[in-house]
Structure 1
Amino acid sequence: MSVFLVTRGKTFMRRIVIAMIMALALPMAMATPANAGGLDDLFAKLLVKQVKGSNVKKHLDALQAIATANGGTRAAGTPGYDASRDYVAGKLRKAGYKVTLQPTNFVESWTENSPPTLNLTAPSAKTYAPNEDFFTFQPSPAGDVTAQVQGVDLTLPPTPTPTSTSGCEAADFAGFVAGRIALIQRGTCAFAQKIRNAGVAGASGIIVFNEGQPGRTDAFPLDIGEWRAGVPMVFADFAVGNELAATAGATVRLKVDATLVLGTNDNVIAESRFGDPRNVVMTGAHLDSVPAGPGINDNGSGTAAILEVAEEMALYPVKHKLRFAFWASEEIGLLGSDQYVASLSQAQRDRIKVYLNFDMVASPNYAYKLYDGDDSDAEGSPPGPPGSAQIEQQLQAFYGTRNLPTVGTDFDGRSDYGPFIAVGIPSGGIFTGAEGIKTAEEAALFGGTAGVAYDVCYHQACDTIANINATALDVDADAIADSMARYAFNLSSIPPRTAAAAKRAATTAHAVESVS
């Protein structure tokens, strides 16, 4: 018998023994009050012991080998991504999960064939200068439409407001007449969010214009990675938008001549065989890298950590359904997670009781940052949906058991929690830092070097297997295991979700403007 078969047999038998112990303990533990050291506490301690940093490292070694064999990258649309997908899916199937590959789209190529057109045709005529007064919003679909313009929740002078929220909420389009061209103002939320809302409202074309604030008065070309409204779209300077808004009954011709080619990548979604499907505990990490490098910290670290947790939890007779997601195309606009959430019915969204996101959990100059679910610092982005504060507290409690400090980090819209908090799903997670600079206060708390980026190889070719902090990787993998095990058996700390709470969450989500 080979060494492989012996090792595999021992691992399998160990999991069978664990499953038998858990099955015997289940009736007794279920009768124990949650606050008296119940099933969640028992299995959290067991899982943390099972999850090993050395096993997480083996997954990272495999992802590095995949990148090395595929031109040094695992980016969306590359063979390196497909091999990463197959590796993760294979491990999950072998562990016993029900695995689904969900196709998602991304922009494979976009070419502008000729300059765009934006002409006022009524009540008077005026031609705006392409690539001066306005630019094509990349990657706009082609289209040629003449229709009346309708402003969407605009904030125009002399109203004294620091920024616009135009188009950030579906409610902004109440009364919008389908078939008109949406005139939307820049500000507050991601451009992509405004575009998607306009598409849902039935806009035949989209004009986004600047706010008129200092430093934001010139139009410029932008690639927002968003095409799903399916209509031509341009970005204009403030003078153009203000003029169209002030012209009663303004009708324009909007034309974009471009060739848009879409590619397909797969999300990997794995579900436990056990657990109540009405109560889903979900965790996710993005699987793709940037084209420039192998993406071992960003985000092989999150991928490998939750993959190890999934393997060790495979035979747990959990009370709540577990769902592990490995997202495609995060680096080009959160496309995998966004299309996943968009594909869910409201009932399916309601079944997801918590979403935990792990993106970069082993930065070389790390800090233990937890998403600020309650906005305790009262700065930057608003809090997450109700329940997010409790997720943050649960993670804090784990680090506290090891006498490790943590600091908060904003829900700034830069990772795959974004689509979840936008629909009111309680979210949280761990982040060890990217291109930001470590402060002196953080160096005093966590060690490392103040005045240096948390990850000097962020989005670069040097984000290799040598770009990992083993201590952070091991500790964070344990923290993931602890929270997943606890929520797998006990969701009592998460408040019931209401329609009103979900609506409030949606109105405050994506508070930082981003092209992605």
Structure 2
Amino acid sequence: MAARRTTVLAGTLATLVLGTSALLAPPALAHGPGGRPGPGHGPGHAVDAERFARQVTTRGVWRHLEELQRIADRHDGNRAALTEGYEASARYVERTLKRAGYEVTRDPFTFGFEVIDAEALTLGTGETFAVDQMQYAPSTAEGGVTAPGSVPNDVTGCTADSWAGVEATGTIAVISRGACSFAEKAIAAQAAGAIGAVVYNNVEEMLFGTLGEEGLVDIPVAGAGQADGAAIVAAVAAGTPLTLEVRYHVEEEESFNVIAETKAGRDDNVVVLGAHLDGVEDGPGLNDNGSGSAVLLEVAVQLAKQKKLNNTVRFAWWGAEELGLIGSTAYVEELAGQEGELDRIATYLNFDMVGSPNYVIGVYDADQSTYEAPVDVPPGSAETEAVFTGYFDSRDQAWVDTEFSGRSDYQAFILNGVPASGLFTGADDIKTDEEVALFGGTAGIRHDPNYHTPADDLSNVSREAIGIMAPAVAFATASLATDTSAINGVSGPGDQGHHHGPSHHGKGRAPHHGHEHGGLLKAS
């Protein structure tokens, strides 16, 4: 699952800028005509969803997870985009799919990313602290800005009153996280006369933040960890000058998605399932998102044994999600540029982190019964959500809504009007007493304490969570491979046409930067 800022290549940090077009791809879904059936058309080739759910087992998923762990172990401990670990992960997925009988396509895309040249705050004593340049904040010149420090009188620095009586002109403001947005802190500091700002965290970790949009301030703004922030505040109190240097340059890179789809199924009604294959550089990424990738792979392997389907099922392992949802965005944006292609997609199902060790059973809240979505939710999304919730309800399995905030690869789909939902077992939100009552585990710590760390390895993936989620994914896949009429009014096999293999789409633009934010998924 994408974080606010993600390392790319050893020793660097990267986020997105506008990408460029990759190789020209053939038209999407080029299977054949396949018109919609008329009213009363029968169910055609139904897959027994209950039986299929039993065929996708924890044991089968675990074999894929074990291989992804071995791949990380052989490749510097990670499977991040643009690394050999990612390439090896993709080769494993491709080999497994080909053995199952799929035609597999690599879907290339090019994109720009920001390589960090400097991110540091240095005291006049020579002591240096790591900082993170906030998204949409200006860079410094080479060598940075040097000035005395200043601290607001209420530490959070949210308003002009916070700076009343403080000599802030020509200083680097040092501000605590909390009470208001990072943008409000930066704006207030600049209005008080500061020439730079550092916001330090109120928990023990680096602060990765965003100002939300460009042009809000003219001063560099960076995040820092809680302990470092305390040391910087002490240095300001002692009159020690500060030097803040944050700057980057843009490079162009290429990565790819892995795409496969069933040979059976009508060509004008496609169910798409996706999970991002890349992880972060800081660890093997076995929950984020080896778990979703492995479940998707086992579902694909078992579905290949079904020789007749009403609807085509397409599987996508997205690249460069951790850099800002790049692969999925490129894919959808190319489809959006081809008349009628997105209309062929009945719905999109997303699986990003489904094995969290302190898990919840989360379903994306497409009907907004708990969380109001920050974007328009496409019609049919609530009905897609209901496939999962209905499955869980039928088994007396507790579940909770997860905010439909756009923090994973479904973002581009819903922004382009494609119905979507999916499953999620939690990242860095804190587990509540109410969630413990429903799912067990430990209150007061994260759903995944190992999120984006070296400890996100196989030993910290929950077999129990996989055992709940994998059959749910299988059930939804089989159900929608048979009938999507509740979502888009289409039922029955239609005119199948001749299958020409999976489409692949390499053109598209990545969103600026990789920072998204939302409720249950990840905190700001």
Scaled to the shorter chain, the TM-score interval is: 0.5 to 0.7
SS at match of 1:391: helix
Gaps of 5+ in 1: 1-30, 114-130, 139-209, 226-232, 240-256, 498-509
Q: 1:300 aligns with which of 281, 287, 290?
A: 290
**TM superposition shift of 1:490:** 0.2
Correspondence 1:324-339 to 2 at 5 A: 324-339=315-330
* Structure 2 contact 360–425 (Cα < 8 Å) conserved: yes
Correspondence 1:234-245 to 2 at 5 A: 235-237=215-217
SS at match of 2:484: coil
Q: Cα deviation per residue 1:84-131 (whole Å; 9 max; x = unaligned)?
A: 011101111221112110112344663679xxxxxxxxxxxxxxxxx9
* Structure 1 contact 103–266 (Cα < 8 Å) conserved: yes
Aligned to 1:322: 313
Q: What is the rounded CA distance, in whole Å, between the counterparts of 2:138 and 2:402 in structure 1?
A: 34
1:71 and 2:62 matched: no
1:89 and 2:94 matched: yes
1:491 and 2:465 matched: no
**TM superposition shift of 1:46:** 2.3
* Structure 1 contact 375–381 (Cα < 8 Å) conserved: no
1:313 and 2:311 matched: no
Aligned to 1:168: none
Q: What is the rounded CA distance, in whole Å, between the counterparts of 1:383 and 1:441 in structure 2?
A: 29
1:340 and 2:345 matched: no
Correspondence 1:109-148 to 2 at 5 A: 110=115, 135-136=137-138
- TM (normalized to structure 1)? 0.63
* Structure 2 contact 371–404 (Cα < 8 Å) conserved: no
**Alpha carbons of structure 1 residues 484 and 311: separation in structure 2 relative to 1, 3 Å:** same
- TM (normalized to structure 2)? 0.62
Aligned to 2:367: 374
* Structure 1 contact 292–459 (Cα < 8 Å) conserved: yes
1:363 and 2:356 matched: yes
Q: Which shows bigger deviation, 341-350 or 424-433?
A: 341-350
SS at match of 2:313: strand
Q: Cα deviation per residue 1:360-385 (whole Å; 9 max; x = unaligned)?
A: 00111111010001100254645621
Higher helix fraction (1 or 2):
1
SS at match of 1:436: coil
* Structure 1 contact 67–74 (Cα < 8 Å) conserved: yes
* Structure 1 contact 420–426 (Cα < 8 Å) conserved: yes
* Structure 2 contact 426–447 (Cα < 8 Å) conserved: yes
Amino acid at match of 1:97: Y
Q: Cα deviation per residue 1:239-297 (whole Å; 9 max; x = unaligned)?
A: 9xxxxxxxxxxxxxxxxx97422221110011111111111100000000110000000
Q: What is the rounded CA distance, in whole Å, between the counterparts of 2:248 and 2:451 in structure 1?
A: 32
* Structure 2 contact 183–216 (Cα < 8 Å) conserved: no
**TM superposition shift of 1:49:** 2.1
Amino acid at match of 2:103: K
* Structure 2 contact 79–85 (Cα < 8 Å) conserved: yes
Amino acid at match of 1:65: R
SS at match of 2:340: helix
**TM superposition shift of 1:342:** 1.0
* Structure 1 contact 285–358 (Cα < 8 Å) conserved: yes
Aligned to 2:424: 431
Q: What is the rounded CA distance, in whole Å, between the counterparts of 2:465 and 2:76 in structure 1?
A: 28
**Alpha carbons of structure 1 residues 32 and 311: separation in structure 2 relative to 1, 3 Å:** same
1:260 and 2:250 matched: yes
Aligned to 1:278: 268
**TM superposition shift of 1:347:** 1.3
Amino acid at match of 1:489: T
Q: 1:392 aligns with which of 385, 393, 403?
A: 385
Give the number of the structure with larger relative contact order, counting CA–CA contacts within 8 Å between residues 6 or more apart: 2
Among all aligned residue pairs of Structure 1 and Structure 2, give the percentage whose two residues are the same amino acid: 40
Gaps of 5+ in 2: 1-39, 119-132, 141-180, 191-196, 199-206, 220-246, 491-515
SS at match of 1:463: coil
* Structure 2 contact 106–258 (Cα < 8 Å) conserved: yes
Q: Cα deviation per residue 1:431-453 (whole Å; 9 max; x = unaligned)?
A: 00001011111110111111121
Q: 1:463 aligns with which of 448, 453, 456?
A: 456
Aligned to 2:63: 58
Q: What is the rounded CA distance, in whole Å, between the counterparts of 1:324 and 1:279 in structure 2?
A: 14
Q: What is the rounded CA distance, in whole Å, between the counterparts of 1:211 and 1:72 in structure 2?
A: 33
Q: 1:454 aligns with which of 447, 450, 455?
A: 447
* Structure 1 contact 137–235 (Cα < 8 Å) conserved: no
Aligned to 2:402: 409
Output the aligned Cα RMSD.
3.5
